[in-house]
Amino acid sequence: MDNQSAAGCYIDITKRHTFGIPTRAMGWQEYGSVEALQALLNDLRSRNVDFMPIGQGSNLLFLHDYRGVLLHSAIGGVELVEQDADNVLVRAGSGVVWDDFVAYCVASGWSGVENLSYIPGEVGASAVQNIGAYGVEVCDVISCVEAVDVMTGCVHKFLLDECAYGYRDSIFKQSLRGRYIITSVTYKLSRRPLFRLDYGNLQQAVGENPTLQSVRDAVIEIRRRKLPETNELGSAGSFFVNPVISRSRYDELLRRYPDMPHYPVDETTVKVPAGWLIDRLGWKGKSRGGAMVYPQQCLVIVNTGSATADDVAALAADIARSVWETYRITIKPEVNYIG
């Protein structure tokens, strides 16, 4: 491992984030335990060095070189902590690769995360971002989240209700942004398969007599078809979150755009696919410098090889502006800009 101290010399982190845009940072430190993280934080605080936790870097756009140390969890392990006739409680270290965790659950016959197969990233970041796909969000199965307070070094256990989960949102992205570093997540999974196949054409892709493995296989197949493999084409998955608008606004838009899809959120609001809005404006395959709207899924911006962060940000801003000018809908990045 290329652990380095932040002695003013920058290291290359281009391969540490999935956009693959050349970037450097003052250091990269891994920790394999809560105690190691506490010691690291203590040291960085005492030297007044900036730091930021990073998983697989699958949701980040570095606008410049990062003037601080990136902290990466190597806390591994998946542990069965409790079980009864119906459910298991499973605790995973924040550094476990998310899709390895999903594969392990599927192989163990534990249901709840199979729809979330093949999402890039690690366990810790998944609980910050509240990752979701095919009708399931990770908060549906989270029981609690353990995290270290970066100011005090104390460990805090957040129960599900304390995490303020929403669509791609959590307390760790809002009021506690930057305050805690997640060290483990505990999930409540079902010992009986509870299939959720009502999203899009998932049911059709899975076919008759589903199993956890066949759902996982179908999701992987769909994702491979629609989304770029980040080791081949840099990206950060969905660049924007799908906007939530009022039903009355949606009804108005529907009169002008009768085929506009939507997902009900609650009685008064609906979610509209930003990919559809963008696609309809002719952005598919359009580029700015080396950044391009992915032709198979307009919600994704890819690095065709020579993109700079400015290219990506400029393309994203142009897209958001055109969506606003046409539909009077604001779309916001899901990707975190690090400036």
Number of residues lying near ligand EPU (CB under 6 A): 19
Find the catalytic residue in 114, 122, 146, 334.
334
Under the binding rule (CB under 6 A), the answer on residue 184 touching ligand EPU is: no
Q: Is 122 a catalytic residue?
A: no
- CA 45, CA 31: separation in Å to the nearest integer? 16
- CA 177, CA 188: separation in Å to the nearest integer? 25
The alpha-helical segments, DSSP class H, found in the chain are: 34-46, 98-108, 123-129, 202-206, 212-226, 247-256, 274-280, 309-327
Residues belonging to the chain: 339
Beta-ladder partners of 25: 11, 66
Q: Is 91 a catalytic residue?
A: no
Question: Residue 278 corresponds to which amino acid?
Answer: I
* 23 Cβ neighbours under 8 A, 6+ residues apart: 12, 13, 14, 17, 62, 65, 66, 309
CB of 85 to ligand EPU, least distance (A): 31
Beta-ladder partners of 147: 156, 182
Structure-block tokens of residue 327: 């539909």
Under the binding rule (CB under 6 A), the answer on residue 219 touching ligand EPU is: no
Q: Which is nearer to ligand EPU, 178 or 200 (CB)?
A: 200
Under the binding rule (CB under 6 A), the answer on residue 133 touching ligand EPU is: yes
Sole binder of ligand EPU in the list 237, 243, 316, 331 (CB under 6 A): 237
Under the binding rule (CB under 6 A), the answer on residue 310 touching ligand EPU is: no
CB of 86 to ligand EPU, least distance (A): 26
Under the binding rule (CB under 6 A), the answer on residue 334 touching ligand EPU is: yes
- CA 284, CA 270: separation in Å to the nearest integer? 24
Q: Is 24 a catalytic residue?
A: no
Q: Which is nearer to ligand EPU, 73 or 130 (CB)?
A: 130
Q: Which is nearer to ligand EPU, 163 or 272 (CB)?
A: 272
- CA 79, CA 137: separation in Å to the nearest integer? 21
Instruction: Scan for tokens 């307070």, then name that residue.
Output: 149
CB of 317 to ligand EPU, least distance (A): 18
How far is residue 278 CA from its own chain's centroid? 21
Q: Which is nearer to ligand EPU, 134 or 158 (CB)?
A: 134
Give the x-and-dash track for 142-181 against ligand EPU (CB under 6 A). Answer: ----------------------------------------
Q: Which is nearer to ligand EPU, 53 or 273 (CB)?
A: 273
Find the catalytic residue in 16, 168, 216, 288.
168
Under the binding rule (CB under 6 A), the answer on residue 111 touching ligand EPU is: no
CB of 72 to ligand EPU, least distance (A): 20
- CA 13, CA 338: separation in Å to the nearest integer? 14
Under the binding rule (CB under 6 A), the answer on residue 242 touching ligand EPU is: yes
Q: What is the DSSP string of 271-333?
A: E--HHHHHHHTT-TT-EETTEEE-TT-TTEEEE-SS--HHHHHHHHHHHHHHHHHHH-----B
- CA 20, CA 23: separation in Å to the nearest integer? 8
Give the x-and-dash track for 270-299 against ligand EPU (CB under 6 A). Answer: ---x-xx--x-----------------xxx
Q: Which is nearer to ligand EPU, 69 or 227 (CB)?
A: 227
Burial of 310 (0-12, 13-18, 19+ CB in 10 A): middle
Which residues of this protein are in contact with ligand EPU, per CB under 6 A?
Answer: 133-134, 199-200, 226-227, 237-238, 241-242, 261, 273, 275-276, 279, 297-299, 334
Active site residues: 168, 238, 334
